[in-house]
A and B are shown apart, each in its own frame.
Chain A
Amino acid sequence: MSALGVIGGVVQPVLIVAGSPLLVGLMRQVRARLEGRAGAGVGQPWRDLRKLLRKERIAPRGTSEVFRFAPLVLVATTLVVAVVVPFVATESALDPVADLFAVVALLALGAVALALAGLDTGTAFGGMGASREMTILALVEPTLLVAIFALSVRVGSTNLGAIVSSTLHDPARVISPVSLLAAVALIVVIVAETGRIPVDNPSTHLELTMVHEAMVLEHAGPDLALVELASAMRLSVFLGLLANLFVPWGIATEATPLALLIGVLALVVKVGVLGGLLAAGEVFVAKLRLFRVPELLAGSFLLALLAVAASFFLA
């Protein structure tokens, strides 16, 4: 375990926990401004979280530990990912966990925990949301694995730190067909996984169209705050992963204060820009009919598969 890895493992989760609600706020603000609205301000998600955390803990009658622990599992798995994935520094605090398969499994574990909590409530909405979320998850996870796998082929390792370092040393790879195909596949997957338009509408109040929101409808107070925080963190984690897999420059490779500062700033700027672009793009698209979502995701899987094929043929 290197010094850089340890420092990265401390700085990254702090940065992601503190910054994720701000990212969500930024995206909402970008959207509001583009639609000609004033918007609630970048700090609004944090104010919402503060309000929710002050409320009493409440759980619906008949729910079990599954319901109560799901928000904790969701936050915990996302935190582990925030610690190990190379966001600020190329080296990882827990190198074996910074593995493609481990990270994807951790993220899926959190989503499954939340879906189980939705089922645990026994309400129609919880079950409906969970069923929709699982449908989407089942289509998203393979694409996620295959897309990142395409990048790992030429490195010969599924360690995310190794993938990032190799791109750092050989910038020409970024514009290779493999990278471009994988990037497009990943972007679609991230949009679906984080419940953005056109797959899900994070700002809807229509209980029958919701996916993610329907699943967490019964969570309230601090539990809801954890779920909201974790959702924001997952968004940051995915955008950070996307940024560093394809544009890793700025990431700290040595444990000096200046390098780390640049690493932090680079991550904030990259994720902020990606979030802003995603929000701006959302203004111009509408939500797909639910049964069209698999078509979109099948398309992204095909791109990811082509990326893998290309990585063997064009290596």
Chain B
Amino acid sequence: MITKSLAPDELPGQAGSLLKRGFRLALVAGHDDGDRLRAVYLFTAAGPDRRVELHVLLDRDTPRLPSLAGLSFAAGRFEREMHDLFGIVPTDHPLPQRLVRHFRWPQGWYPMLADAGDPPEFGDLDGPYPFRTVEGPGVYEIPVGPVHAGMIGPGHFRFSVVGETILNLKARLWFIHRGLEKLFQGRTPEGGVELAERVSGDTSVGHTLAYCLAVEDAHRWSVPQDAQRIRAILLELERLYNHITDIGALCNDVAYSVLNAHSQRVRERLLRLNDTVTGHRLLRGAIHPGGARIIGLPDRHELAVIGADIAEIVELALSNTVVADRFTGTAPLGRDQAADLGTLGVVARASGLGIDARHDHPFLSAEFPRTVHTRTDGDVLSRFLVRAEEIVTSIAMISSLTDMLGGRTAATSATTGSGGCGVGIVEGWRGTIVHRVELNGDGRLGRVKIVDPSFFNWPALPLALADTIVPDFPLANKSFNLSYAGNDL
């Protein structure tokens, strides 16, 4: 990893040249170093794995940065996040509204500063929320949420509609800021695991692994390959149970509920398999900084049966002409749109971008072939098929990793040495998860920054929905299946 310290006015030039050379902005984190503030920009590139960090030192009283929003869409959102949490002002930002800070928190209170104290009482609304108004004959608005009829996270969606066609959609999120990154501070690296497991309940392994990789990178520990193989197996097991849930839910949203019933049955089988592997249905407790420990390796015969079951469900779904019609061409996200927004994971791959941290930033020494995706039109069908195809690869990966392990179920590295900073990059089932950890001199956690792929993917949803009809929204939303919890830390 290359680290550079910069003055604020050098930032746009450096960032611009990195982005031109094919780097992507993976993470931006604010830091409170006591006498001054610091902004850290992490750029990553694939083939070979390269990581560059830019550190910008800022004056504590007037922390100002030149905005990178013109260079990268994601940078603009990171800057707004940093502004809300640290009070670091991006100058010339095109959309300087608050992003993550709750609307009833007062102006000028920045929760991530060391002297912020307890959250203040909720006050009056800080002005009306700036929804874009769409006007014209027959245009009306549909407000939905933040409390929904189904069991999902809180999000408010404002549709501007003419007839049934969506003209504009604004997704207003950020209702459940938990202060998670601050909770990490002062814990031991081992004590951070239980938090990392709960960043987003359905991505326990993804976030824990990214966190542990970051801690190990900070300590410069070299983790045995057996431990990495166990971790890779757990990561794929998590992908399996989440992908089949999504496949079932997509069928349910077009009222083909018999396939949802079967997907739920398969999911339950996978959760029980998880239980035999780690002793926890959601795969918690197996990964720790420096290593991994499981109870037993997954049963290959069981996995083969599950794979055949899933293949049949997918086949049945797509052979139903109405289901195929509902999926095909619905809510398309073009390749250029996906690239411009910096989308990740399933969403990016369904739009034809070959982003996959398992190959771009591998933590395993063994190479596995990339999944070949047959349809990359960016519509609901593409996202459905990407999931179905990844399930096949995941099962094959688990089988060969199980062979490599040859029955060994635990491995740990020597855990000595003091701190520094490190980065962990993992392809969770939704997409690329990045954690960045800075350790204090006493070996405790100083600052942990978490970036869930949903942070990058949420802005893609309204874009894909332009000119889609309202009744297709739940289907399109489910095909993205973005995390509320991972997004709003």
Binding site for B on A (CB under 8 A): 31, 34-37, 124-125, 127-128, 197-198, 201, 203-209, 283-292
**B446-473, CB under 8 A of A: which get 1 and which 0?**
0000000000000000000000011111
Taking a contact as CB atoms under 8 Å apart, the answer to whether A128 and B255 are in contact is: no
Contact, CB under 8 Å: A198 / B471: no
Q: List 8 A-B contacts (CB under 8 A).
A: A205-B149, A206-B150, A206-B474, A209-B473, A284-B320, A287-B254, A287-B255, A288-B325
What is B's interface to A at a CB cutoff of 8 Å?
140-144, 148-150, 164, 251, 253-258, 261-262, 265, 320, 322-323, 325-326, 469-474
Contact status B469-A287, CB under 8 Å: no
Interchain CB contact under 8 A, A289 and B471: yes
Bound form: Cα–Cα A34–B474 in Å: 25
A207 contact set on B, CB distance < 8 A: 144, 148-149
A78 CA / B159 CA spacing, docked (Å): 36
Is the beta-carbon distance between B254 and A286 smaller than 8 angstroms?
yes
Using Cβ atoms and an 8 Å threshold, which residues of chain B touch A289? 325-326, 469, 471-472
Bound Cα distance from A208 to B474, whole angstroms = 7
Chain B residues in 8 Å Cβ range of A34? 258
Q: Which of B144, B265, B325, B469 touches A36 (beta carbons < 8 Å)?
A: B265
Complexed CA–CA distance, A198 and B471 (Å): 13
A206 to B249, CA, bound (A): 12
Known: A124-B140, A209-B253, A209-B473. 15 other contacts (CB 8 A): A36-B258, A36-B265, A124-B142, A128-B142, A128-B470, A204-B255, A208-B470, A208-B473, A283-B257, A285-B256, A286-B251, A286-B254, A288-B326, A291-B164, A291-B469
B326 interface neighbour in A36, A128, A203, A287, Cβ under 8 Å: A287
| A-side contacts of B473, CB under 8 Å | 208-209
In contact, B470 and A201 (Cβ under 8 angstroms): no
Interface residue from B144, B254, B257, B265 paired with A208 (Cβ < 8 Å): B144
CB distance from B319 to the nearest CB of A (A): 11
Q: Closest Cβ of chain A: how far from B304's Cβ, in Å?
A: 22
A209 touches B261 (CB 8 A): no
**Nearest A residue to B470 by beta-carbon distance?**
A208
* B261 touching A37, Cβ below 8 Å: yes
A209 vs B144: C-alpha distance when bound (angstroms): 12
CA distance A283 to B322 in the complex (A): 13
Given the known A-B contacts A35-B261, A198-B255, A286-B320, are A206 and B149 also in contact in the complex, defined by CB atoms under 8 Å?
yes
- Set of chain A residues within 8 Å of B149, measured between Cβ atoms: 205-207
Contacts of B251 in A (CB 8 A): 286
List, in ascending order, chain B residues with CB within 8 A of A31's CB. Answer: 257
Q: Write out the residue numbers on chain A whose beta carbons fall within 8 Å of the beta carbon of B474.
A: 206, 208-209
Q: What residues on B are CB-neighbors of A37 within 8 Å?
A: 261
- Residues of chain B within 8 A (CB-CB) of A291 are 164, 469
Residue of A nearest to B325 (CB): A289
Contacts A36-B262, A208-B470 given; does A286 touch B322 at CB 8 Å: yes
B312 to chain A, nearest CB (A): 14
Count of A-B residue pairs with CB < 8 Å: 78
Chain A residue nearest in CB terms to B261? A35
In the docked arrangement, what's the CA distance between A63 and B401, Å?
64
B255 touches A292 (CB 8 A): no
Chain B hits for A206, CB < 8 A: 149-150, 253, 474
Which of these, B144, B148, B323, B470, contacts A286 with CB under 8 Å? Answer: B323
A36 to B, closest residue via Cβ: B261
Report the minimal beta-carbon distance from B148 to chain A, rounded to whole angstroms: 8
**B165 CB, nearest partner CB in chain A, Å:** 10
Taking a contact as CB atoms under 8 Å apart, the answer to whether B150 and A287 are in contact is: no
Which single residue of chain A is at the shortest CB-CB distance from B320?
Answer: A286
Using known A-B contacts A124-B142, A124-B143, determine if residue A35 contacts B322 with beta carbons closer than 8 Å: no
Given the interface pairs A36-B265, A207-B144, A289-B326, the reply to whether A283 lies near B258 with Cβ below 8 Å is: yes
B330 closest partner in A (C-beta): A289
Q: How far is the CB of A121 from chain B (nearest CB, A)?
A: 13
How far is B205's CA from A289's CA once the two chains are assembled, in angstroms? 37
* A39 → B minimal CB distance (Å): 11
A19 to B150, CA, bound (A): 30
Q: Are B257 and A203 in contact (CB under 8 A)?
A: yes
Q: A235 to chain B: closest CB distance in Å?
A: 17
Contacts of A283 in B (CB 8 A): 257-258
Q: Contact at B142–A125, with CB atoms within 8 Å?
A: yes
Among residues of B, the one whose C-beta sits closest to the C-beta of A32 is: B261
Inter-chain contact B262/A290, CB cutoff 8 Å: no
The docked-state distance in angstroms from the alpha carbon of A286 to that of B322 is 6
With a CB–CB cut-off of 8 A, which chain B residues contact A290? 164, 469, 471
A303 and B142 alpha carbons, distance in the complex (Å):
37
Chain B residues contacting A284 (CB-CB under 8 Å) are 258, 320
Q: A36-B262, A208-B470 are in contact. Are A285 and B144 (CB under 8 A)?
A: no
Highest count of chain A CB atoms <10 Å: which of B140, B258, B326, B469: B258
Q: Which A residues lie within 8 Å of B258 (CB)?
A: 34-36, 283-284
CA distance A284 to B257 in the complex (A): 9
Give Cα distance in the complex from A288 to B470, angstroms.
14
Residue in chain A with minimal CB distance to B478:
A206
Closest to A210 in B: B471
Q: Kindly provide the distance from the CB of B252 to the nearest chain A CB, expressed in whole angstroms.
A: 9
Residues of B within 8 A of A287 (CB): 254-256, 322, 326
CB neighbours of A201 from chain B (8 A): 255
The smallest C-beta distance from B159 to any residue of chain A, in angstroms, reads 8
* Closest beta carbon of chain A to B398's beta carbon, Å: 27
Least distance between B17 CB and chain A CB atoms (Å): 45
The smallest beta-carbon distance between A160 and chain B, in angstroms, is 33
CA–CA, A195 and B325, complex, Å: 20
**Closest Cβ neighbor of B165 among chain A residues:** A291
Contacts of B325 in A (CB 8 A): 288-289, 292
B-side contacts of A208, CB under 8 Å: 142, 144, 470-471, 473-474
A37–chain B nearest beta-carbon distance, Å: 6
Chain B contacts for A286, CB-based, 8 A? 251, 254-256, 320, 322-323, 326
Min CB distance A159 to B, Å, is 38
Q: How far is the CB of A123 from chain B (nearest CB, A)?
A: 9
The distance in angstroms between the C-alpha atoms of A199 and B323, with both chains bound, is: 13
User: Is the CB–CB distance between A35 and B257 below 8 Å?
Assistant: yes
A136 to B214, CA, bound (A): 57
Question: Among B143, B262, B474, which residue has the most Cβ atoms of chain A within 10 A?
Answer: B474
Residue of B nearest to A124 (CB): B142
With A and B bound together, what is the CA distance between A204 and B322 in angstroms? 17
A157 to B431, CA, bound (A): 67
A209 to B255 alpha-carbon distance, docked (Å): 10
Chain A minimum-CB-distance residue to B254: A286
Chain A, residue nearest B253 (CB)? A206
Distance to closest chain B CB from A309 (angstroms)? 30
Q: How far is the CB of A177 from chain B (nearest CB, A)?
A: 27
B276 to chain A, nearest CB (A): 23
Contact B471 A209, beta carbon cutoff 8 Å: yes
Residues in B whose Cβ lies below 8 Å from that of A35: 257-258, 261
| Chain A min CB distance to B372 (Å) | 28
Query: Bound state CA distance, A61 and B467, in angstroms?
Result: 34
A198 to B321, CA, bound (A): 12
Contact A288 B253 (CB under 8 A): no
- Which residues of B are found within 8 Å of A209, using beta-carbon distances? 253, 471, 473-474
A286 CA to B257 CA, complexed, in Å: 8
